[in-house]
């Protein structure tokens, strides 16, 4: 028996990488009986007589898992955010970041289409970059002067020894960016992302590509951030700048809305925190507070 990681899933076969070698396996029937589906990214135990014949025996506990793309144990997500076409939205980006944080994934914000900005517009995005860096996020803002090899190399440097997934709204340029990072991918730009974001079934295999000693999901996905399954009072934990300063609030359970002695509100008054992000926080808080409970939710 050996241990490894599922690298690729295709038509009931699971390719496992172990000590630099790939082994093709099938899952034992007891997984189906237990209702367990092995996912790309799973750390597993398997047995193999030859590299082409083997069986998947055990799946170790997952750190996290996503439905789209169906992968597990993700370390970080590149949140691909277009500056224009479609236009940048604080609200959408903040929702995406919360979704990533809920899944225990570290976000990296990457701005696309910056070459379409004039200098004045680009100055605005420098300010946006500062807002998110001050909140504690890694942000990559390519130059508006064209050649962006430096930004592509910067993002590649973050892949080492990590499992990475890409996300972003339709048209943000996920496939285009992935193709720049790994030219041999030849992802059909737009088509795949559009199909995934519409929720259509696609028969593409799910797999990782190896880039700079890391694993990158070759499918731009992770767009399911419409509804958050958290309590309203938990939302504050998914805004890093609130989380970092919450201990300065007068009340331990402060949700930074109407409580007296709130450190977050006083930091806002002193322009030490982003008003846009706080506005999005309050809006999301209200949505969660007014959300009707689903009583027939299946376990």
Please state, in angstroms and rounded to a whole number, the distance separating the CA atoms of residues 167 and 16.
25
What SS3 state is found at 218? Answer: coil
232-290 adopts what CATH topology?
Ribonucleotide Reductase Protein R1; domain 1 (1.10.40)
Beta strands at 43-50 and 53-59: parallel, antiparallel or unpaired: antiparallel
Q: Is the pLDDT of residue 188 over 70?
A: no
Q: Answer whether residue 192 shows pLDDT above 50.
A: no
- Binding site residues for GTP, as ranges? 112-115, 168-176
What element of type H or E holds 76? strand 76-82
Fold for domain 2-59?
OB fold (Dihydrolipoamide Acetyltransferase, E2P) (2.40.50)
Residue ranges for the binding site for Zn(2+)?
249, 254, 256, 262
148-167: pLDDT as tens digits: 789 999 999 999 999 999 98
> What pLDDT score does 222 carry?
61
pLDDT value of position 197: 46
Q: What predicted TM-score, i.e. pTM, was given to this entire model?
A: 0.88
- What's domain 76-217's architecture? 3-Layer(aba) Sandwich (3.40)
Report how far apart, in Å, the C-alpha atoms of 29 and of each of 51, 54, 130, 132, 292 are: 20, 13, 52, 47, 39
Query: Using 50, 70 and 90 to split pLDDT, how confident is the model at 283?
Result: very high
How many helices and strands (H and E) does the chain possess? Answer: 9, 11
pLDDT tens per residue, range 220-237: 666 555 567 899 999 999
Residue ranges per domain, the chain? 2-59, 76-217, 232-290
Q: Are 256 and 264 in contact (CB under 8 A)?
A: yes
pLDDT tens digit sequence for 87-136: 999 999 999 999 999 989 999 999 999 999 999 999 999 999 999 999 99
Residues belonging to the binding site are 112-115, 168-176, 249, 254, 256, 262
């Amino acid at each position: 028996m050996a241990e490894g990681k599922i690298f690729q899933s295709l038509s009931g076969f699971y390719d496992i990488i172990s000590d630099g070698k790939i082994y093709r396996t099938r899952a034992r029937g007891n997984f189906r009986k237990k209702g367990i589906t092995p996912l790309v990214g799973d750390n597993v135990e398997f047995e193999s007589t030859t590299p082409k014949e083997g069986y998947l025996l055990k799946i170790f506990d997952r750190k996290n898992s996503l439905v789209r793309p169906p992968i597990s144990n993700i370390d970080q997500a590149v949140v691909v955010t277009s500056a224009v076409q479609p236009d940048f939205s604080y609200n959408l980006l903040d929702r995406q970041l919360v979704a990533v944080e809920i899944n225990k994934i570290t976000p990296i914000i990457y701005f696309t289409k910056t070459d379409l900005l004039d200098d004045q517009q680009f100055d605005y995005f420098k300010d946006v970059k500062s807002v998110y860096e001050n909140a504690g996020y890694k942000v990559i803002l390519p130059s508006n002067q064209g050649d962006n090899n430096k930004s592509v190399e910067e993002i590649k440097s973050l892949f080492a020894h990590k499992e990475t997934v890409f996300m972003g709204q339709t048209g943000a340029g996920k496939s285009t960016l992935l193709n720049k990072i790994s030219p041999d991918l030849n992802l059909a730009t737009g088509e795949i992302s559009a199909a995934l974001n519409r929720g259509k079934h696609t028969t593409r295999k799910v797999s990782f590509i190896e880039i700079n000693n890391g694993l990158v999901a070759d499918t731009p996905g992770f767009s399911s951030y419409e509804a958050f399954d958290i309590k309203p009072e938990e939302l504050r934990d998914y805004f890093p700048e609130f989380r970092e300063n919450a201990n300065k609030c007068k009340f331990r359970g402060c949700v930074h809305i109407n409580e007296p002695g709130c450190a977050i509100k006083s930091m806002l008054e002193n322009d030490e925190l982003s008003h846009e992000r706080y506005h999005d926080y309050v809006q999301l808080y209200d949505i969660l507070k007014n959300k009707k409970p689903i009583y027939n939710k299946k376990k």
